[in-house]
């Protein structure tokens, strides 16, 4: 009896011995850490040990002990992995922590230059791994700490920014990829030049700015206000300039990371779901990207286009500006005169780049600050440093004001900024608000201005309307007379595209983004609207799921897409993606109205298209004669505009990746609208080229580089567009069409005819004889230019639009298209499966890892 007890006890001891011995948090020179041991912090929040993130190398890292999905908060040797299968972490002869590989070579070390003995390394409960003297636990005396050398994760109690005593600038840098903790391209780092702020860098270039700290938060991160679960701190004194956060409930885990695609993400651990939830992320929209509107440009997502120039400035590069690239910024159009200049108040502003600012004083009030700025002719703007209370502190900017954005009043965020303008411009500011709640010399002028402005604004609007109307008539007349030069026409196209401010018709302009806030529907409502997703209501089936017609009592008729493939994103993340996509609004895009995102069901709600898809007309013998040449040409131009918007409107640069006839929907006026854009984002598939393992696309429309190497770019969309154009002209499907005598597909066939000068032969007979020969040939030539094999030979969409609109422009000669020869498939059995899938019409296929 007794004996068996002892045996049991010994058995238990043997079983648990390794674990018992692990319950330590300290390494000493005599007690190193070997490969299958870990350190555990006192309260068991964090664990440190060897790990392999899935790339066959070994690293030393720290992770949450209580979180099942390994979440690494720190990696010691991120850029110096152990490539063998064994290693030891120990205290070296000079008192530093050293990581040794299998052969005993030092791979990584804490590397403090002071040689010391009697040191130990301890993992603390807050996740900090420290080297200290054996008997000295005073944090001020730590010899080295991992919190000074973060990886990609920022934890509570950590400090980001400068330690003036040690000269260390603590910052976080992204992992290369999910499986490689090596130093990635993106970092989040304090910039202490001028007026400190934190900047996301993409390699050596600025990617996004936080805006400076104003006592309440960073001026470029309005979401920081009203956060109730944590507290942020920004310290600037003789010891440090640092940013930190703490959780109000310290037992709730939260971490801020910079991820490998350059976004900051704040995760909070949710106990009930046992998952990390994305609490916040940044950047959130176009205007968050550095220099979106350049110098003196103001970015505002409620405007369309998002960039406007400050009062008294005009775009530096008008052409790029029209194409929605505002990065060249604005130049002064009216002369400043230091003596007579005044100041305009811009409200809710993310402050201009801080490195070009100069902190005058931390206690001065606003009117004193205004005086200083007015007297200094090189001062372009000023504001309070701290906006809490009545405001205090004075910071001024040298003349170049870079990277500003303005928030909607309702969003809050940002702060008042006073900018220098010429006295003459104070009278005519249609762009900026100039209510007066400050004081000082400039404000007198502001007061007068605000009265003048209201009357001027009316006048300006009237003039603009008049001008626009004239322009419209002129352009109509021009096309009638048929004598337009390429330059003029391209400008008109741009106007028609709504790119310029004067014509917002093509956008859902007028209403702002906020008014069109995405609707969140609950599943029940949609179930009812679609009559339980009945077959009668089924409109079609696509690669991402079925589409149903839905009748929302108040919302009218909609199209409901029930996603069948499960996205690998979290619910919040998915909502954010959907929100982003809903912001893409253009006359030639199917509008995303809302969504329903629940754990089991994910649905997207779109506007309903009366005439369904172009597919139904184009390839139907009876219906194809309903679309005559003029309609076809308008459809081609419409698709081109929609695609241009996707490619150019946003820095996200939406690449459609699955452009095809069945994705072109037609409303009751036969206006073409592109559907299914942004799906790659929703499905979390939008990785960098190298990471792409799946190709989403449809045979017949995929460019060679996409189908074969999984490389996608705007140029692969251009390829698909080219196929579309040729299909619309010829009324023939590219896929499945095979000219037996020549072994060519549609592209090859058309190209051959083009070279022989017989291209007109391909025109769809159902068009009849009412068409412009030049227009048809131009479309064929543009189509062929777009499907050229080499991506770099293909024009971009803005070029395509110019070519479409110009009747006199000399177009380049296309070289051979990609994929124009069809191989015989009658020889092998093994290819029969492939053949089968190739004959199913218009089915979206997913090729797993083409390489
Ligand atoms: C703090 O968070 C923990 C873990 O989620 C929870 O159990 C506890 O009740 C919270 N404490 C307070 C005071 O809210
Ligand atoms: C980085 O974060 C953004 C924003 O949450 C997200 O959309 C993106 O997918 C993330 N990238 C990776 C590689 O996780
Ligand atoms: C004027 O402003 C510039 C830039 O903001 C600053 O560098 C300079 O020191 C100021 N000059 C005076 C006399 O304050």
| Ordered DSSP codes for 119-187 | EEEEE-TTS-EEEEETT---GGG-SEEGGGS--SEE-TT--EEEETTTTEEE-EEEEEETTEEEEEEEE
What confidence score (pLDDT) does residue 566 get? 61
* Nearest ligand 3 atom to alpha carbon 377: 1
* Nearest ligand 2 atom to alpha carbon 577: 7
Residue closest by Cα to atom 11 of ligand 3: 376
pLDDT band at 517 (very low <50, low <70, confident <90, very high): low
Residue range 308-321: mean pLDDT, rounded: 90
Q: Distance between CA atoms of 844 and 226, rounded to whole angstroms?
A: 45
Strands (E), 642-741: 664-666, 672-674, 694-697
pTM over 0.75: no
Residue range 365-378: mean pLDDT, rounded: 93
Would the pLDDT of 579 be above 90?
A: no
- 236 CA to centre of ligand 3 in angstroms: 22
Ligand in closest contact with the CA of 683: 2
Q: Distance between CA atoms of 238 and 243, rounded to whole angstroms?
A: 15
* Nearest ligand 2 atom to alpha carbon 177: 13
Give the list of residues 6+ apart from residue 25 with CB closer than 8 angstroms, or none. 39, 40, 41, 42, 122, 123, 124
Task: Yes or no: say if 559 and 607 are a contact pair by the CB < 8 Å rule.
Answer: yes
Would the pLDDT of 444 be above 90?
A: no
Give the list of residues 6+ apart from residue 487 with CB closer than 8 angstroms, or none. none
What confidence score (pLDDT) does residue 692 get? 37
Alpha helices in 560-678 (DSSP H): 571-582, 614-618, 629-648
Of the given ranges (493-502, 553-562, 779-788), which has the lowest mean pLDDT?
493-502
Mutate to test the pocket of ligand 3, among 356, 358, 368, 380 (most ligand atoms within 8 A of CB): 358
Give the list of residues 6+ apart from residue 223 with CB closer than 8 angstroms, or none. 280, 282, 284, 413
Q: Following CA atoms 197, 408, 282, 572 in sequence, which dihedral angle do they give, to the nearest 10 degrees?
A: 150
Q: Which residue has the higher pLDDT, 546 or 840?
A: 546
Residue range 373-380: mean pLDDT, rounded: 92
- Give Dmax (Cα) for the chain: 112
Residue range 802-826: mean pLDDT, rounded: 76
Q: Distance between CA atoms of 658 and 702, rounded to whole angstroms?
A: 8
pLDDT band at 390 (very low <50, low <70, confident <90, very high): confident
What confidence score (pLDDT) does residue 691 get? 33
Q: Is 228 in the pocket of ligand 1 (CB under 6 A)?
A: no
Q: Is 271 in the pocket of ligand 1 (CB under 6 A)?
A: yes
pLDDT band at 503 (very low <50, low <70, confident <90, very high): very low
- 372 CA to centre of ligand 3 in angstroms: 9
Q: Is 277 in the pocket of ligand 2 (CB under 6 A)?
A: no
**Residue for token pair 């994305």:** 278
Ligand in closest contact with the CA of 372: 3
Residue closest by Cα to atom 11 of ligand 1: 249
Q: Which residue has the higher pLDDT, 578 or 78?
A: 78
Of the given ranges (71-80, 268-277, 788-797, 836-845), which has the lowest mean pLDDT?
836-845
Q: Distance between CA atoms of 798 and 643, rounded to whole angstroms?
A: 9
Q: Which residue has the higher pLDDT, 367 or 829?
A: 367
What confidence score (pLDDT) does residue 453 get? 46
What confidence score (pLDDT) does residue 260 get? 95
For the chain, what is the mean pLDDT? 80
* Nearest ligand 2 atom to alpha carbon 260: 13
Residue range 617-638: mean pLDDT, rounded: 92
Exposed/middle/buried for residue 317 (C-beta within 10 Å: 0-12, 13-18, 19+): middle
What confidence score (pLDDT) does residue 126 get? 96
* Nearest ligand 2 atom to alpha carbon 278: 5
3-state SS string for 710-725 = CCCCHHHHHHHHHHHH
What confidence score (pLDDT) does residue 622 get? 87
- 38 CA to centre of ligand 1 in angstroms: 27
Ligand in closest contact with the CA of 250: 1
Task: Yes or no: say if 266 and 256 are a contact pair by the CB < 8 Å rule.
Answer: yes
Ligand in closest contact with the CA of 249: 1
**pLDDT per residue over 70-85, tens digit each?**
999 999 999 999 998 8
Of the given ranges (255-269, 495-509, 630-644, 675-689), which has the lowest mean pLDDT?
495-509
What confidence score (pLDDT) does residue 571 get? 76
Q: DSSP state, 817?
A: B
Residue closest by Cα to atom 2 of ligand 2: 263
Q: Rg for the chain (alpha carbons), in Å? A: 32
What confidence score (pLDDT) does residue 389 get? 85
pLDDT band at 551 (very low <50, low <70, confident <90, very high): confident
Size (the chain), residues: 851
Q: Distance between CA atoms of 691 and 687, rounded to whole angstroms?
A: 6
Task: Yes or no: say if 312 and 227 are a contact pair by the CB < 8 Å rule.
Answer: no
Would the pLDDT of 438 be above 50?
A: no
**pLDDT per residue over 453-496, tens digit each?**
444 554 555 455 555 544 444 443 333 333 223 332 232 222 22
Mutate to test the pocket of ligand 3, among 351, 364, 398 (most ligand atoms within 8 A of CB): 398
SS3 state at 785: helix
**pLDDT per residue over 119-144, tens digit each?**
999 999 999 999 999 989 999 899 99
Mutate to test the pocket of ligand 2, among 573, 578, 581, 684 (most ligand atoms within 8 A of CB): 573
What confidence score (pLDDT) does residue 201 get? 96
Q: Which of 25, 425, 492, 658 is catalytic?
A: 658
Q: Domains in the chain, please, with CATH?
A: 25-149 (2.90.10.10), 288-444 (no CATH), 493-607 (3.30.200.20), 615-848 (1.10.510.10)
What confidence score (pLDDT) does residue 161 get? 96
Task: Yes or no: say if 219 and 414 are a contact pair by the CB < 8 Å rule.
Answer: yes
Pocket of ligand 3 (CB under 6 A): 358, 376, 378-379, 396, 398
Q: What share of the chain is helix, strand, coil (3-state, %, to 5)?
A: 30, 25, 45
Is there a catalytic annotation at residue 568? no
Would the pLDDT of 416 be above 50?
A: yes
SS3 state at 783: helix
Give the list of residues 6+ apart from residue 226 with CB closer than 8 angstroms, or none. none
Of the given ranges (14-23, 44-53, 515-524, 562-571), which has the lowest mean pLDDT?
14-23
Q: Is 263 in the pocket of ligand 2 (CB under 6 A)?
A: yes
Q: Is 247 in the pocket of ligand 1 (CB under 6 A)?
A: no
């Amino acid at each position: 009896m007794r004996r068996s007890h002892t045996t049991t006890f010994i058995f238990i001891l043997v079983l648990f011995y390794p674990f018992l011995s692990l319950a330590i948090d300290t390494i000493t020179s005599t007690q190193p850490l070997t490969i299958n041991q870990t350190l555990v912090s006192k309260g068991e929040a964090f664990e440190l040990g060897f790990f392999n993130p899935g790339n066959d190398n070994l690293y030393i890292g720290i992770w949450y002990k209580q979180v099942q999905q390994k979440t690494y908060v720190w990696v010691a040797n991120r850029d110096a992995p152990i490539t063998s299968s064994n290693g030891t972490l120990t205290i070296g002869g000079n008192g530093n922590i050293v990581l040794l590989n299998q052969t005993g070579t030092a791979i990584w070390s804490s590397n403090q230059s002071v040689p010391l003995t009697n040191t130990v390394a301890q993992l603390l409960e807050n996740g900090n791994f420290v080297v200290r003297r054996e008997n000295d636990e005073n944090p001020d005396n730590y010899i080295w700490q991992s919190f000074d050398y973060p990886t990609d994760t920022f934890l509570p109690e950590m400090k980001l920014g400068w330690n003036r005593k040690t000269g260390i600038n603590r910052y976080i840098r992204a992992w290369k990829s999910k499986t490689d903790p090596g130093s990635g391209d993106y970092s989040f780092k304090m910039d202490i030049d001028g007026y400190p702020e934190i900047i996301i860098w993409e390699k050596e270039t600025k990617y996004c700015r936080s805006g400076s700290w104003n006592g309440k938060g960073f001026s470029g991160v309005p979401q920081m206000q009203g956060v109730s679960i944590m507290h942020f701190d920004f310290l600037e004194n003789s010891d440090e300039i640092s940013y930190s956060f703490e959780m109000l409930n310290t037992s709730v885990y939260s971490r801020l990371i910079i991820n490998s695609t350059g976004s900051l993400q704040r995760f909070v651990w949710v106990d009930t779901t046992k998952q990390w939830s994305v609490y916040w992320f940044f950047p959130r929209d176009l205007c968050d990207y550095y220099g979106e509107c350049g110098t003196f440009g103001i970015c505002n997502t409620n405007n369309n286009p998002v960039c406007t120039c400050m009062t008294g400035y005009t775009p530096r590069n008008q052409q790029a500006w029209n194409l929605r690239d505002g990065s060249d910024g604005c130049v002064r159009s009216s002369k400043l005169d230091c003596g007579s200049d005044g100041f305009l108040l811009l409200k809710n502003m993310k402050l201009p780049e801080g490195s070009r600012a100069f902190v005058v004083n931390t206690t001065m009030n606003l009117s004193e600050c205004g005086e200083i700025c007015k007297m200094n002719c090189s001062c372009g703007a000023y504001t309070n440093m701290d906006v809490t209370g009545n405001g205090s502190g004075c910071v001024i900017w040298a003349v170049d004001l870079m990277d500003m954005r303005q928030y909607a009043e309702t969003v809050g965020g940002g702060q008042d900024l006073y900018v220098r303008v010429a006295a003459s411009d104070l009278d005519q500011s249609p762009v900026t608000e100039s209510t007066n709640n400050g004081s000082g010399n400039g404000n007198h002028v502001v007061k007068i201005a605000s009265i003048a402005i209201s009357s001027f604004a009316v006048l300006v609007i009237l003039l603009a309307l008049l001008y626009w109307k004239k322009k419209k008539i002129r352009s109509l007349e021009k096309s009638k007379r048929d004598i337009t030069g390429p330059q003029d026409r391209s400008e008109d196209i741009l106007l028609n595209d709504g790119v310029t401010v004067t014509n917002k018709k093509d956008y859902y302009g007028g209403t702002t983004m906020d008014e069109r806030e995405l609707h969140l529907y609950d599943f029940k409502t949609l179930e009812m609207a679609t009559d339980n997703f009945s077959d009668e209501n089924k409109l079609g089936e696509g690669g991402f799921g079925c589409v149903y017609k839905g009748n929302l009592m108040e919302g009218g008729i909609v199209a409901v897409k029930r996603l069948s493939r499960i996205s690998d994103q979290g619910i919040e993340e998915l909502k954010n993606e959907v929100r982003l996509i809903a912001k893409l609004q253009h006359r030639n895009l199917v509008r995303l109205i809302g969504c329903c995102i629940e754990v089991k069901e994910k649905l997207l709600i779109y506007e309903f298209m009366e005439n369904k898809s172009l597919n139904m007309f184009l390839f139907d013998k009876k219906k194809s004669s309903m679309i005559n040449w003029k309609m076809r040409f308008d459809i081609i131009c419409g698709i081109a505009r929609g695609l241009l918007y996707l490619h150019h409107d946003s820095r996200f640069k939406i690449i459609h990746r699955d452009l095809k006839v069945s994705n072109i929907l037609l409303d009751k006026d036969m206006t073409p609208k592109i559907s299914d854009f942004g799906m790659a984002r929703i499905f979390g598939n939008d990785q960098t080229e190298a990471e792409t393992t799946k190709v989403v696309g449809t045979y017949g429309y995929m460019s060679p580089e996409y189908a074969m190497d999984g490389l996608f770019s705007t140029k692969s969309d251009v390829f698909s567009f080219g196929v579309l154009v040729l299909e619309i002209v010829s009324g023939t499907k590219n896929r499945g069409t095979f000219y037996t005598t020549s072994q060519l597909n549609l592209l090859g066939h058309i190209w051959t005819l083009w070279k022989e000068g017989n291209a007109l032969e391909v025109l769809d007979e159902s068009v009849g004889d009412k068409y412009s020969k030049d227009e048809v040939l131009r479309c064929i030539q543009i189509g062929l230019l777009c499907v050229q094999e080499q991506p770099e030979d293909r024009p971009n969409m803005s070029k395509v639009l110019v070519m479409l609109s110009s009747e006199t422009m000399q177009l380049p000669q296309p070289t051979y298209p990609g994929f124009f020869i069809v191989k015989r498939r009658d020889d092998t059995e093994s290819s029969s499966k492939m053949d089968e899938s190739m004959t199913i019409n218009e089915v979206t296929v997913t090729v797993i890892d083409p390489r």
